[in-house]
Structure 1
Amino acid sequence: MEQSIIKETRWMAFFLTLAMCIQRISIAAGNICFGISILVFLYLVWKLRKSGQPIWQSLSQDTKRYIKVLVILVICLIPSVIFSYNPKESIKLVAEMWLYRVLPMLMIVCFIRDKQLLMKMLGAFLIAEIADSMVAMYQSFVLGVDRAWGFGSNTLNLPGILVFLIPITIMLALEKSIPFSLRRLASITLVFTGIAIILGKSRGAWLLLTFLIPFITWKYIRTHRVYLIGLILVVLCGVTLFATNQSYQQRLYSTVNMTTDRSNADRVLVWQSAIKMIVDHPVVGVGPAQFKDVYNNQGYVSPENTQKLAHTHNNVLEITTESGLLGGGALVLCFLYLIIKELRLTISGSIMARMRLSVLLGVMLFGMIDYTLDESTLVKTMWFIIGILLSLDDNNDGSIEGKIPINE
């Protein structure tokens, strides 16, 4: 029985990791691999329940906290689905956003406990991000595109992933408790992803990393002067780049341009329209997946808006518009609760909690200028990384891989 579980767990880990690595290259191929991993996961759940082995009891308190928060959030979204302009579309979106895309975390925390396997999964994903960043470099240096995006087509998708991956790679590279091979891979990844984030010209990502990187590296700077010197050199390189390149100067200056820069101005206009929609539908909103139709067809589009935006470019406003103050409030409180818990664990010295905190902050803060929760590849990546970090926090040193230990 245990040998069978070990074999099936490894197959699930293989297809899940492959799906995360190729989903930005080919959505179809990624979904096929993801689907296979889900089938193996469901089989493992059935097999363990049939044999009487508990699953919920085996999970750590940190893991249970994440699952409980997600369940509470979904419950708070149900009223907006019931009273939606199109309940069928709303059910589909809620199920996809808060169940289907969360499955990577559930698969990992329920069955994958072997530390070496988890490290390999993380390492494979870092290699995929190196390839993604190299494509962005090719697009910029060879094809001459203004804003490189790597695999895929959305210029904000790669920066949305890198805003939390770069802080994690910094910690992986600096943390002495991490295996040397993964530390070396993280250092290489950091070079390529650092170049890619610059070439992507995402102003939001630049500003967010300016805050996140010192927050993450302070632990190391305080105890090792060489890390402080490294950070200073990185800052000097960045200042030199922007001081000598007019294109980057203009891009940075445009951050505060709310008139001629339509990317900024139209965001503000759509935010104003979203607030009007919230005032008109305060409790349960217009229904998940209904913003675009209501915004464009019920007189909320501002005449000055030059773009037909499909969403609000803001996680909180989008969820509040579609699910009312009940859903939007639940989103804010649930993620704020997780952030506070991870911050407390970070202060107590947990490196994995510090990494999870980086993921949560990266996704939610970048989500203030883009609707990140609707980006399938980004969200599945987020839960994939969080799942690995949770399981590494609660791993059993690899001695009984595939057998779920019971927490005393």
Structure 2
Amino acid sequence: MSKSKIIDILDKIILSCLILYALTFLLDININFLTTAFIFGIIKLFFIKPKIKIYSKHFYFIAFFILCTFLSIIFNNIPDLTITSNLSAYKSRFISPLIGILILFLFKFEKKHILLFLSTLSFSLLINAIFIIYQVSHDLSGRLVGFASNYMLLCVMNILILPIIFSLALYKSKLSNKLRLFYLITVLINIPAIIFENTRIVWIALSITYFIIILISLKKKKIILLFISAIVLCCYILFQNSPQSFDRLTSITNISYQNQSNYERLLMWQSATNMFIEHPLFGVGVGNYHEQYTNNYRSPYSREDQWHPHNVLLAMLSETGLIGGISYILLFIYLYYNTVITYLNTKSISSFAYLMCLLAYSINCLTDSMFCGHNIKSPTNFFWLFTGFYLILNKYIIISYTNKKY
């Protein structure tokens, strides 16, 4: 078999794994198709070497973030905390998710591949939303998740994916009308599903990003007003017919002791702040939050056993101190700065869609730890993958191959 034939086969396998990943990301299955695609990409390096040109500072800030969080492990002075256990948690939460962006150097992503991947994600969310609506029609209530393995995974994946496909649906572009209609249908059917999922930060994040997307994408004021009014009226009717969702909505600003969810967050934020104050430089150690919280920092008023502080910045500061916290802040400042500048200069749909994704994700990170966080790793994988798509589509990364076919 010729070298070019082997490379073709490997590329088809990698693409197939990515599509399977997009189809199954909500399910609790043992096979990680993104990792599988990455492994086949490594095998591909034995046959062909890519030529890579990078025209942004993204990887400097990512490397700085990874280095600083690693230093917090080396110089941590928490008694009885072993470097081995720290490194295991560090690898799982900070290193492994980078597969999402590193795979860009192993497979030549073109616009058609990215659209295929996004369309498959859209299909998965559409089917899941339809199933949630079906559950509601059969009088099920609570934190409905459809086929998803847990509600927090579904929460953050909605926040990462829906702003992108809504941007693609409304923003003026060269996409086919059929594809844009498919994305729009996915977004609209997910509106009732998201209300019935009863995750308040998703409501807030998507309300803000959807408003911005409609405002910037649609040019005629009457159409903007009609679109927003239709969504608001739809949401009003849905909330009026779902007492549990309405109660969740009215509880957003309630921080009394009776509102356990909100009050508990205040307590854990205070606990995380105390950890940072007492261990300002390197924190209490990556993966050591729960032990320190349980043994030393838990409030006597707390009614929950928490593994993270439900806020990414406080998670970084409490576990990695100023060293890790500042590197996280600088990373996201640069991500915003670069994306905004790119959008202002090019008005490209990819920069606008990524900016909306970044904004929604940042809002989610205010009340949860879904970036390099404990337990659920997929959101960080997807975040790095979408960041890579943004870099590819805006030609911040250009990859070519020595083989003429490539």
- Cα–Cα, structure 1 residues 399 and 365, in superposed 2: closer, same or farther, change >3 Å? same
Aligned match of 1:339 in 319, 333, 336?
336
- Cα–Cα, structure 1 residues 269 and 391, in superposed 2: closer, same or farther, change >3 Å? same
- The Cα of 1:227 is off from its aligned counterpart by 4.1
Paired residues of 2:28 and 2:149 also in contact (CA < 8 A): no
Aligned match of 2:314 in 311, 314, 317?
317
**More deviation, 372-381/308-317:** 372-381
* Cα displacement string for residues 164-223 of structure 1 (whole angstroms, at most 9, x for unaligned residues): 322212111123322334212212211232222111111111112221112222222335
Aligned match of 2:150 in 154, 165, 171?
154
Paired residues of 2:51 and 2:400 also in contact (CA < 8 A): no
Query: Could you tell me which residue of structure 2 aligns to residue 203 of structure 1?
Result: 200
Q: Pairwise mapping of residues 186-197 of structure 1 onto structure 2 (< 5 A)?
A: 186-197=183-194
Number of residue-to-residue matches in the alignment:
394
**More deviation, 148-157/74-83:** 148-157
Query: Could you tell me which residue of structure 2 aligns to residue 137 of structure 1?
Result: 133
Does 2:383 align with 1:387?
no
Query: Could you tell me which residue of structure 2 aligns to residue 239 of structure 1?
Result: 236
Aligned match of 2:100 in 85, 98, 104?
104
Query: Could you tell me which residue of structure 2 aligns to residue 290 of structure 1?
Result: 288
Distance across 2 between alignment mates of 1:88 and 1:303: 32
Long gaps (5+) in structure 2: none
Paired residues of 1:275 and 1:321 also in contact (CA < 8 A): yes
Query: Could you tell me which residue of structure 2 aligns to residue 68 of structure 1?
Result: 60
* Cα displacement string for residues 262-297 of structure 1 (whole angstroms, at most 9, x for unaligned residues): 000011001101111101110001111110011112
Query: Could you tell me which residue of structure 1 aligns to residue 210 of structure 2?
Result: 213
* Cα displacement string for residues 66-124 of structure 1 (whole angstroms, at most 9, x for unaligned residues): 32221110111122111342322322232223332121222135522332222212211
Paired residues of 2:69 and 2:320 also in contact (CA < 8 A): yes
SS at match of 2:227: helix
Aligned match of 2:11 in 4, 9, 12?
9
- Cα–Cα, structure 1 residues 17 and 388, in superposed 2: closer, same or farther, change >3 Å? farther
- Cα–Cα, structure 1 residues 99 and 225, in superposed 2: closer, same or farther, change >3 Å? farther
| TM-score in terms of structure 2 length | 0.88
| TM-score in terms of structure 1 length | 0.88
**More deviation, 393-402/224-233:** 393-402
- Cα–Cα, structure 1 residues 244 and 25, in superposed 2: closer, same or farther, change >3 Å? closer
SS at match of 1:15: helix
Distance across 2 between alignment mates of 1:274 and 1:399: 46
**Which residue identity lines up with residue 69 of structure 1 in the other structure?**
F
Paired residues of 1:356 and 1:386 also in contact (CA < 8 A): yes
- The Cα of 1:34 is off from its aligned counterpart by 3.0
Query: Could you tell me which residue of structure 1 aligns to residue 71 of structure 2?
Result: 79
**Which residue identity lines up with residue 94 of structure 2 in the other structure?**
W
Q: Pairwise mapping of residues 12-27 of structure 1 onto structure 2 (< 5 A)?
A: 12-27=14-29
Paired residues of 2:73 and 2:286 also in contact (CA < 8 A): yes
Does 2:376 align with 1:378?
no
Does 2:44 align with 1:47?
no
Query: Could you tell me which residue of structure 2 aligns to residue 250 of structure 1?
Result: 247
Distance across 2 between alignment mates of 1:292 and 1:142: 39
Query: Could you tell me which residue of structure 2 aligns to residue 222 of structure 1?
Result: 219
**More deviation, 9-18/306-315:** 9-18
- Cα–Cα, structure 1 residues 400 and 178, in superposed 2: closer, same or farther, change >3 Å? farther
- Cα–Cα, structure 1 residues 26 and 240, in superposed 2: closer, same or farther, change >3 Å? closer
Distance across 1 between alignment mates of 2:249 and 2:164: 25
Distance across 2 between alignment mates of 1:362 and 1:402: 40
- The Cα of 1:132 is off from its aligned counterpart by 2.4
Distance across 1 between alignment mates of 2:405 and 2:84: 37
- The Cα of 1:341 is off from its aligned counterpart by 1.2
Aligned match of 1:164 in 156, 160, 171?
160
Q: What's the C-alpha RMSD, in Å, of the aligned pairs? A: 2.7
Distance across 1 between alignment mates of 2:127 and 2:186: 9
**Which residue identity lines up with residue 301 of structure 1 in the other structure?**
R
Distance across 1 between alignment mates of 2:127 and 2:268: 35
Q: Pairwise mapping of residues 29-40 of structure 1 onto structure 2 (< 5 A)?
A: 29=31, 31=32, 33-40=33-40
Paired residues of 1:115 and 1:398 also in contact (CA < 8 A): no
- Cα–Cα, structure 1 residues 41 and 124, in superposed 2: closer, same or farther, change >3 Å? same
Aligned match of 2:298 in 291, 301, 310?
301
SS at match of 2:304: coil
Does 2:325 align with 1:328?
yes
Paired residues of 1:149 and 1:200 also in contact (CA < 8 A): yes
Distance across 2 between alignment mates of 1:396 and 1:378: 22
Write 1 or 2 for the structure with the bigger share of helix: 1
Distance across 1 between alignment mates of 2:305 and 2:369: 15
- Cα–Cα, structure 1 residues 398 and 43, in superposed 2: closer, same or farther, change >3 Å? closer
**Which residue identity lines up with residue 179 of structure 1 in the other structure?**
S
